[in-house]
Structure 1
Amino acid sequence: MDLDPEGIFRDDSDEDDDNLHEREANKEMVVYLIDASPRMFTPANAAKPDEKQETHFHTIVNCITQSLKMQIIGRSRDEVAICFFNTKEKKNLQELAGVYVYNVTEREQLDRPDARLIKEFSCVEDSFMNNIGSRYGITSGSRENTLYNALWVAQALLRKGSVKTVSKRILIFTNEDDPFGGITGAAKTDMIRTTIQRAKDAQDLGLSIELLPLSRPDEDFNMSLFYADLIGLEGDEVVQYVPSAGEKLEDMTDQLRKRMMKKRKVKTLSFAITNDVCIEVNTYALIRPTAPGTITWLDSISNLPLKTERSFICNDTGALLQAPQERFQLYNDKVVKFSVRELSDVKRVSSHHLRLLGFKPLDCLKDYHNLSPSTFIYPSDEQIFGSTRVFVALHSSMLRLGRFALAFYGTPTRPRLVALVAQEEVISSSGQDEPPGMHMIYLPYSDDVRYPEEVHLTSGDAPRATDEQIKKASNLLRRIDLKHFSVSHFANPGLQKHYGILEALALGEDEMPDIKDETLPDEEGLARPGVVKAIEEFKAAVFGENYDQEEAEAAAAKGGASKKRKAIADAASQKSAAYDWADLADNGKLKDMTVMDLKTYLTAHGLPVSGKKDAIISRILTHLGK
């Protein structure tokens, strides 16, 4: 099973200059705007008497810390700035009140996530009140508007770089759905108008403004009071944007991960619909094998990375030759020469990356056809204008008629037939769960499909489960069924331990972080009385009522055999101790001993006793190191 079709998951170090330019174009610049008003330091939920009450501010600090750690591993080229608003102290280049820029001081460049930033920010809550302070930034009788100031500072921080090559985002964290609720009259109207206008000006410059709302225990976050207008939501978008009331506070980390770790294209393909119609699509990786990284060999003296070079040397003269420009192949005792360009043309099986062949009903696509992870494709109008319109027409027709498209995926190294399966958009209360598009499934070759041998048994020979056994098995499966199971929910424990060691070294921590192995069975869940009862009933139905007694007798018999072997080994050890084996080996007297005496040494030391006398002596000498 090839987990890396066509090398789309290759390491960054393997990319050429063109892909390096594409990778840099996908860089993101993010400003985290964190509300530091006193409301953020109130308990986030109704905790039990023995539990420590957690605040929204603490939750946001943990979420951003985890996000920064993931960015170091997966997206280390991104740049971030952390900014608090509604603070007593101010620190920003614009000298605006109530805004404190945490990690960007006397310069305008944003920081790349590093160990120092993560270590300092994770402890910011301990000294926040003493060093930065908290206050209500928008109060009655005051003309200060700290939210307006925060948007102004964030826009200034994101001034560097073009929106065509860099994605710029502002993420706002707050639990106050009406920041201007404490004032009334013309002052409130003016502040709302100027703040929304400031947000629209930022969006006109290509900046994306997003909100991660937090609901207080006594009331839900109401987007329609202010923030729907700030980020530009209309109609049903307001209801879909706010998480459902049943979501727990710890889900905030997953929400932030979904918004920060967006899918990025790995390749752009040309999709030939007919001979005269060709559109452009982007491909996205749904499953990416995670590896610790490539090994970099360093020079032992200079500690610089080593580079591999290949040279051609003449056998006769030893002179350095240039790389051969031609290749040859023997055919019918003749030398057929090929240039590098000709070989490349021979391997090129298609002028297009993707060519449509036809359509088939969805029931023709079997489960065993999906042998390797699929690739998600989505239209793009960057190079070929109108690609989205053609793709949408094809996508809607395939959904309506229940068809999948059969296409030829021509690459120089591995031509494949692929199935394009249309996917509908899925939207829930927390936003878009699945985007519209197509899954490109790599169909197997005929040799990849294995047909099991059919064994014809008579009705008397074939084992049949009784109705009672089937009933107990069904009950057991219902008890241990994993709800909403998905393989993507489990992290690789080996890689998590590897990253945990790197994290401890980078942050200078003395103790290793606790790594939970999610692949191990849930022992606590299996120990529930209902599950234990279902397992015992299933065993009794299959093996009989006295199966536990039979297991105990088998274990006892096995224990008796082991005791007998131990007694023989002890007797051999006592008999072997009577000889000075090292002295016998040095004086060459082992050959004078009997085979039975020699075997006592082998038995005492757990060595094989088979073979002739010479083989036994050789085995003893080897064990003695002679």
Structure 2
Amino acid sequence: MSSYYGDRSRDIPSWDSFDNPDDDDIVDTSEYAYASRDHILFCIDASESMQTPFPDQDTPEGIIRGKSALHQALDAVAKIERSKVITGPADSVGVLLWNVDPSKTPSSSAGNYKPGTQVHQSLRTINAEEIKRIVKLVEVAKDQYDNQGDDEDVQTTQPDVFGETFPPCGQKEELNIADVLVTCNFLFRDAGTKLAGNKRVFLVTDNDQPPGSSHNRAPARTVYGDLLTYGITINTYFISRPDHRFDASLYWNDILDREGEESVLTTDDGLAELADVMGELVIRQAPKRVQFSIPLKFGGKDGDIEIGVSGYAMVSSQGKGQPKLVRMRGQTVEEVQIKTEYTSAETGAVLKDAEIGQAYQFGNEGTVRNVIEPNWWESNEHQAEQQMYADEIVRLDNERRQREEEGEEEAEDVEMPQQSRANGKGKGREREEKPKVVARTRLQFTSEEVAQFKSMGLPPQIKILGFQGPNHLDVDENIKHSYFIYPNETEYTGSTRTFAALLKSCLKLNKHALALCRFRTNTAPEFGVLIPQEETLNETGGQDKPPGFHIVILPFRDDIRRPPKNMTDNLVATEEQAKLMSNVVKRLRIKAGRYRSEAYPNPALAYHYAQLQALAFEEDFDPASPAAQELDRTYPKHGGMHRAAGDFMKEWNQAIEADDRAEERLTGGRKRTAGTRGGGGGDAAGDLEEEDLRDVRGMWKMGTLEKLKVQELRDWARFHKISLTGKTKKADMIDTLSEYLEQEGGAGGKKTKK
């Protein structure tokens, strides 16, 4: 048995689009494309205005020098590429700058691209060397930027490294946007067909009226349409200058076909938007691998309609991953191919798959001698017995035929074992197969027989048994992670159309499907429910929730257990307490409106990835540095929480402290006043009433103090002002109380059992 882990494609087949305007019942699934890889081309304007630093800011902490838009954009690119080493190692990133002086552009980057553009990084899978180059560029710029000092009289200037690397062209030599988009198209074309997934262009500029905006816009519209045809989208980040607010309606909304509310979004600060997008891109996304690809059957008695579906896991645990086994061969690194072989313990010969079986222990091998012998069921003795039964069956059949011919009534048939009937049919036929050799203490089966035991004869499939309303499904029946299924056109053509129609019908009728599921060949059949999910979009028009079915695995009877009493037998809050808690919750809500687990990485994994990043870029990693301390994003922000809802928390705590029901629950049903909280001493007369205490003196006389609870012993000692300080064990408390009762002059109690 061998396995190879190479660079397998993680792309998931998208739903094939179809268009049938004559039939309103058919759902268009063209927007259901799914991609697991991200390919980003940064298209940054390098004009003179983009390289002009923003004005300095005077703050109480000191002067903050303004960085240019080009400096901030390249800084964001460097951070994104550094993070994608871990979050998306299969993603592609490219960097294109335009409005660069053609006479100073390196000839190697000109190629087939338009003059005035410079390809600083080709669009291909990220690698450490190219990332080091752009990180080094940003670090050199930062050093030159910091060397300008904190003197307010010194005007901030752009670092020289940017002017030397990306020399800006004159205003009259600036490019038409059509030429820029054509170069973007060439870069995606030259990257090859491996760019399967989400393809985007991040366009950064501060020029709202580029050349050609007044009279020649048709070429730009045409090239933009070509990009959309190839599945390439453009995300714009427009930058407003201090003396000029960017107006996208002058040119960009026209060529990008943006109208209405979408055009309003383009007037925001592009650098702030780029920072937000950078926060989204650095989130580690688990690749959505296909868990299974099986047929889905429904309709009729045996499933007359059969389509193909693929299932994806909705929840997966993230780990550090297994390192690959490699070897150095010259200047290249080759991955080692893994191969597993089984050898005989006696001869050492390599065994074939046909020579290896599976056996289950039957008996105690330690006490029973494991003798190899022929299978009795195939022995001569057993065969003679079976032959006798076969002869008897033939004789009875002959007698019955004779009675039927003579018109006599049929006699009752003699029931014989099914195996005997089968052997009767083969009378006189010699057995060609040799008897199997088995061990007394083992039962041996082939791999096919073991698989038959697990599957109960059912192939991997999802077979819908019926439909019912959602009121028949309880929340506590969801005890396993669910799957999400999409149609798969690979095996069955037309699966997308049929799947979309089934989903639309379930949503329209508010029904979910009950199904018998077997997802893989090595799993047992399970019952599940298919819950439909409608597609939802976010504010920007992107897909928030995809359309499809969630498969929830239903538990068997013995999988459901009653919850513990301490989870069900709880006190119900009053309306006032609920209202006070709602005030706390409102102040502590997440800004996004919902919790996103991927935005809060595992601190241990984040620490591990930070170390790998430092090794990859040959940097020092200091665990005590502030950057390393910020890796744990799950630590609660107590200061901000108390500033936002501190007063409401106090009100809620006071309402709980004033509730007598909580006191009764804490003391096991005996009412205590506020003076007893914390288990301290307190005034005995004000703490407890004598009628509330157990008869400790009487139980002492009977010698049964060990039957009392620890809290009851403490309450009696507190009432009689007996110190139990340092007494943590029940036996020590009983000894102290017994000494007190003896000194009090009681009628000597019996010896207490310990």
Match of 1:98 in 2: 116
What corresponds to 1:422 in structure 2? 532
Identify which of 636, 661, 665 aligns with 1:521.
Answer: 636
Query: 2:563 matched to which residue of 1?
Result: 452
Decide whether aligned partners of structure 1 residues 550 and 477 sit closer, same or farther in structure 2, where only a CA change above 3 A counts.
Answer: farther
Which residue of 1 is the match for residue 219 of structure 2?
194
Residue 541 of structure 1: aligned partner = 658
1:287 corresponds to which residue? 315
Mapped to 2, the partners of 1:559 and 1:58 lie a distance apart of 70
Mapped to 1, the partners of 2:515 and 2:448 lie a distance apart of 27
Q: 1:152 to 1:377 in 2, by over 3 A?
A: same
Match of 2:165 among 121, 132, 137: 132
The amino acid across from 2:201 in the alignment is L
Q: Contact 1:40 / 1:55 at 8 angstroms: preserved in 2?
A: yes
Residue 376 of structure 1 is matched in structure 2 by 484
SS in 1 for 2:84: helix
Q: Is residue 470 of structure 2 the alignment partner of residue 362 of structure 1?
A: yes
Q: Deviations over 1:255-296 (max 9, x none)?
A: 556999996755544322332322233434443321111155
Query: What SS does the aligned partner of 1:527 have?
Result: helix
1:71 and 2:84 aligned: yes
Q: CA deviation at 1:507?
A: 1.8
How far off its partner does 1:207 sit? 5.0
Q: Which amino acid aligns with 1:444?
A: P
**Is 1:497 aligned to 2:607, yes or no?**
yes
Q: What's 1:579 paired with?
A: none
Q: How far 1:474 moved relative to its partner?
A: 5.5
Identity %: 23
Within the candidate set 393, 402, 415, 2:510 is matched to 402
Whether the aligned pair in 2 keeps the contact of 1:29 and 1:168 (CA below 8 Å) is yes
- CA displacement at 1:560 relative to structure 2: 7.9
**Matched AA of 1:435:** P
Over 3 Å counting, the alpha-carbon distance change for 1:194 and 1:472 in structure 2 is closer
Following the alignment from structure 1 to structure 2, what is the Cα–Cα distance between the partners of residues 222 and 422? 43
In structure 2, stretches of 5+ residues that fail to align are 14-35, 142-159, 363-374, 378-437, 664-672, 683-713, 715-721, 728-754
Whichever residue aligns with residue 134 of structure 2, its letter is F
Give CA-to-partner distance per residue, 1:200-244, whole Å, 9 cap, x none.
34554x35132233453788876665445655x576794698698
CA distance in 1, matches of 2:449, 2:517: 21
Match of 1:507 among 605, 614, 617: 617
| Separation of aligned partners in 1, 2:288 and 2:245 | 30
3-state SS of 1:398 partner: helix
- Inter-partner Cα distance in structure 1 for 2:285 and 2:181: 19
Instruction: Flag the 1:551–1:196 CA change in 2: closer, same or farther, 3 A.
Output: farther
Q: Distance in 1 between matches of 2:309 and 2:54?
A: 44
Contact 1:39/1:175, CA 8 A, preserved across alignment:
no
Offset from partner CA, 1:68-92 (integer Å, 9 cap, x none): 2343224423433211112234342
Change (3 A) 1:427 1:286: same
Query: What TM-score comes out, normalization by structure 2 length?
Result: 0.58
Report if aligned partners of 2:237, 2:270 keep a CA contact under 8 Å in 1: no
How far does residue 548 in structure 1 lie from its aligned partner after superposition? Answer: 8.0
SS at match of 2:612: helix
> What amino acid is aligned across from residue 164 of structure 2 in structure 1?
N
CA distance in 2, matches of 1:314, 1:98: 72
* Displacement of 1:33: 1.6
**Farther-moved stretch of structure 1 (404-413 vs 41-50):** 41-50
Whether the aligned pair in 2 keeps the contact of 1:63 and 1:256 (CA below 8 Å) is: no
Conservation of the 8 A alpha-carbon contact between 2:51 and 2:70 = yes
Distance 2:178 2:638 in 1: 52
CA distance in 2, matches of 1:220, 1:264: 45
Match of 1:84 in 2: 97
3-state secondary structure, aligned to 1:430: coil
> 1:606 — aligned with what?
none
> Cα–Cα, structure 1 residues 307 and 412, in superposed 2: closer, same or farther, change >3 Å?
closer
CA contact (8 A) 2:96 2:119 kept: yes
Determine the C-alpha separation between the residues in 1 that align with 2:512 and 2:81. Answer: 40
Give, as a single letter, the amino acid of the residue that structure 1 aligns with 2:8. Answer: L
Q: Over the residues paired in the alignment, what is the CA RMSD in angstroms?
A: 4.9
> Partner letter of residue 182 of structure 2?
W
Separation in 1, partners of 2:267, 2:447: 58
CA gap 1:371/1:549 in 2 versus in 1, 3 angstroms: closer
Deviates more, 1:290-299 or 1:426-435: 290-299
Go from structure 1 to structure 2 and tell me whether the alpha carbon gap of 1:540 and 1:403 turns closer, same or farther (over 3 Å shift).
same
- Partner SS for 2:8: helix
The alignment of Structure 1 onto Structure 2 pairs a total of residues equal to 527
- Post-superposition Cα deviations, 1:327-356, rounded to whole Å, max 9, x if no partner, equal 456889865764434544554454353222
Q: Which whole-Å CA distance do the structure 2 matches of 1:54 and 1:112 have between them?
A: 30
Structure 2 CA distance for aligned equivalents of residues 260 and 87 of structure 1: 35
Alignment of 1:51-70 (within 5 A): 53=66, 56-70=69-83
Does the residue aligned with 1:413 lie in a helix, a strand or coil? coil
Q: Secondary structure at the match of 2:340?
A: coil
Once the two structures are superposed, the pairs formed by residues 469-484 of structure 1 within 5 Å of their partners are: 476-477=584-585, 480=588, 484=593
The equivalent of 2:740 in structure 1 is: none
Q: Aligned residue for 2:240?
A: 216
Whether 1:148 and 2:178 are equivalent positions in the alignment is: yes
Q: What whole-Å deviation, never above 9, does each CA across 1:93-116 have from its counterpart, x for those lacking one?
A: 236332111124xxxxx4432333
C-alpha distance 346-354 of structure 1, shift in aligned 2 (>3 A): same
Equivalent of 2:41 in 15, 22, 31 = 31
Going from structure 1 to structure 2, the CA distance change for 1:198 and 1:469 (only over 3 Å counts) comes to closer
Q: 1:561 to 1:279 in 2, by over 3 A?
A: same
Shift of 1:407: 2.3
Q: Is the 8 A contact 1:68 1:118 kept in 2?
A: yes
Report SS of the residue matched to 1:439.
Answer: strand
Distance 1:298 1:552 in 2: 69
Provide the rounded CA distance (Å) in 1 between the counterparts of 2:676 and 2:270. Answer: 46
CA distance in 1 between partners of 2:678 and 2:55 (Å): 52
Q: Could you list the per-position Cα deviations for residues 348-389 of structure 1 after superposition, in whole angstroms to 9, with x for gaps in the alignment?
A: 454353222222212323322333333333334454332222
Q: Which amino acid aligns with 1:20?
A: R
Matched, 1:439 2:550: yes
Residues 239, 429 of structure 1: 8 Å contact kept: no
Matches within 5 A, 1:546-565: none
Unaligned runs of 5+ residues in structure 1 are 1-12, 105-109, 563-626
How big is the shift at 1:311?
2.5
Greater CA drift, 331-340 or 267-276: 331-340
State which structure, 1 or 2, has the greater radius of gyration over its C-alpha atoms.
Answer: 2
State how far apart, in whole Å, the 2-side matches of 1:497 and 1:230 are.
45
Establish whether residue 340 from structure 1 lines up as the match of residue 447 from structure 2. yes
Letter in 1 for 2:637: D
Give the letter for the 1:521 counterpart.
Answer: P
Q: Kindly provide the CA deviation profile for residues 375-427 of structure 1, in whole angstroms up to 9, marking residues without a partner as x.
A: 33333445433222222222222222222222222122333323222222222
Which amino acid counterpart does residue 438 of structure 1 have in structure 2?
A: F
Relative to structure 1, is the Cα distance of residues 130 and 469 closer, same or farther in structure 2, using a 3 angstrom cutoff? Answer: closer
| Maintained 8 Å contact 1:299/1:306 | no
Contact 2:113 2:186 in 1 (8 A): no
For 1:118, the aligned partner's letter is I
